Amino acid sequence: MKKQDSDLSSQRRLNFPLSTFNFPLYNLILAIGFVILSPRFAFDAITKGKYASGFRQRLGYLPAIVDESKLIIWLHCVSVGETNAAQPLVKKILAEFPQHQIVVSTTTRTGQNLARELFKSDAATVFYFPFDFKFAVRRVLKHIKPQAVLIMETEIWFNFLRECRKQNVKTALINGRLSPTSFRNYKLIRGFMSEVLTNLDLALMQSESDANRILQLGIAPGKVTVTGNVKFDLSFDANETDLTREFRERFEVKTPLIIAASTHEPEEKWIVEAFKRLRADFPNDKPRLLIAPRHPERFGAVENLLKNSGFSFAKRSGETAIHDKEAEIILLDSIGELKSVYSLAEIVFVGGSLMTKG
């Protein structure tokens, strides 16, 4: 009898409502983590400028929305990749729902800068996504009053989704993906994830694998649809843009150009070594190399690598100079310009393909 009582007690503990147990625990961990990491945040803000930008917005204090008469659709993009991918989606939404306006949020500073440039005529405002504290999330939702929130790829913030549900704001993952690494991590808290995902209204996933992974985390099957990758909807003009012509003229791109796009550490080192051998194999028609690091905070490190490579190099961000036309390697240390130079390349290498990136 005692054993049965023990088993029943265990079952009651396992069935204890996650919404009343795990969310307070999550908020406690979030607060403790923020306090512990605050010195690091402050150091990075002072030395690198990270986190300082938009700090008030991350606490929920947003600029006023000019036209309050229109309904609002909130689109969230984490960084540069998601922001670029969202371009056709924004155009489509505005065409299909002219009575609505779009606001765009990002997490990273580079994503913020790009969003302000890409959506300056389409978005009512561009701002930083709030920290996942309840007070910040509630303040933002009260200010914006969105009809729906569209989240590019997979930003699963527990308090945010829960507060959206409480305020009857529809939420959807767009271009959703779950890498094997992320999936393994989420599986460790599958019970909690199942509760969190009940707050999500729709999950439009990139592939069957992504759909299967999010289903295993406990989302209702009727909420999941495979739509493919919206990045394939991006249009690339076959004709040269003004930016393409600027590159061609400034760097005098006549010999074969190899582009190493969205590279990660230590791929640049490997690419430069391979480039040395390639130029030795083609002495009469030596190719040139353009490197575009994936993360802007690594521009400086890659520049230092090139300084010690033995090759002449030029930076996109540098002042135009005569030696730009002779530079053997070009460092594309800018945001949002990569697609304009693809048409100049003979060969394109896509970074992250030499290693496992989750």
Tokens coding 7: 């088993």
Helix or strand holding residue 284 (H, E): none
**Number of residues written out for the chain:** 358
Considering only CA atoms, which of 70, 151, 140, 69 is closest in space to residue 106? Answer: 151
Q: What pairing do the DSSP bridges indicate for beta strands 313-315 and 329-331? A: parallel
Tokens 């002449």 — which residue?
A: 312
Within 56-207, strands assigned E span 71-77, 100-106, 123-128, 148-152, 170-176, 202-205
List, by residue number, the catalytic residues. Answer: 82
Calpha distance 146→135 (Å, rounded): 17
- Work out the number of other CB atoms within 10 angstroms of the CB of residue 161: 23
Cis status of the peptide bond prior to 266, with omega within 30 of 0: yes
